[in-house]
Amino acid sequence: MKVIIHGGFFSESSTNQEMKLAKQNALAEIVTKAHAFLASNTALDTVVYAVSLLEDSELFNAGIGSQIQSDGKVRLSASLMDGKSQKFSGVINLEDVENPIEVAKQLLAYDDRVLSGEGALAFSRANGHEYFNPITPQRQAEYEAKLNQQERKGTVGCVALDADGNIAVATSTGGKGFEIPCRVSDSATVAGNFANEFAGISCTGVGEDIVSGALAAKIVTRVTDGFSLQNACEKSFSELKPFDGFAGVIGIAGNGEIYHCDSHPYMVWASFDVSLQVFN
């Protein structure tokens, strides 16, 4: 049983040691809880559980910690993929809901499994998700001050391998901040979140770069074709270099190999195999 999570990029880590430590401590706590949860639950349920905890933390750019778009609204995107069934589900630009990853989980049972905007919101309300305002005082202050958000590229995600050998992956984001309203990121696409029986990958970084590189699906496909997870990541990241793609990934292969890499520092992540690891 293995689990790895990420909390996006944190370029402030070189100067804000207090925030860096807070994020490391939060990741350590969440991945420990997720590993304990995995002992008696499936990989699919575990990645939803872990990402919902990340969405509930103001430290990360997802759920309650999300960035505000240029029109003053928060729109959330999240997706989920079950490596066993090969089903993918997601929500794009969902407003006023606390945990978009839980909505994505409910959508797995439907034929129409990726919803956006008003349709995603209507589905959420019909399935028990009440109104929730994710804007925190800190995010509101940042928005009003028009802080430079170009150094706040972030997402959260989780990949898990359960006792039965099944892999699942979940990814959630609050966007990049001050973007054109309803901009679509990679997080609710197979470029940013993909799994099959051979591997699972969750991405973070600049959504447009990740989509251009078809990153998550490409890495998983290479593992399926016989690459090691590390080699698949390194080959795929080399293909981001011509356009200076900004990305980071976490992944687990069906053989138990666990790996992470990024094109620019610092991605924050934590894993739990036989012991806890927390790094930036």
Q: Which residues does the annotation mark as catalytic?
A: 155
Helices (H), the chain: 17-38, 43-55, 100-107, 117-126, 137-145, 207-212, 215-224, 229-238
Rounded distance between C-alpha atoms, residue 139 and residue 68, angstroms: 7
The answer to whether the CB of 270 falls within 8 A of the CB of 31 is yes
- Packing angle, helices 43-55 and 100-107, rounded to 10: 150
Rounded distance between C-alpha atoms, residue 128 and residue 105, angstroms: 13
Q: Which two tokens stand for residue 81?
A: 């993929």
Query: Which residue is associated with the tokens 């356009």?
Result: 243
Rounded distance between C-alpha atoms, residue 153 and residue 226, angstroms: 32
Nearest one of 235, 229, 231 to 271, comparing CA atoms: 229
Rounded distance between C-alpha atoms, residue 125 and residue 25, angstroms: 34
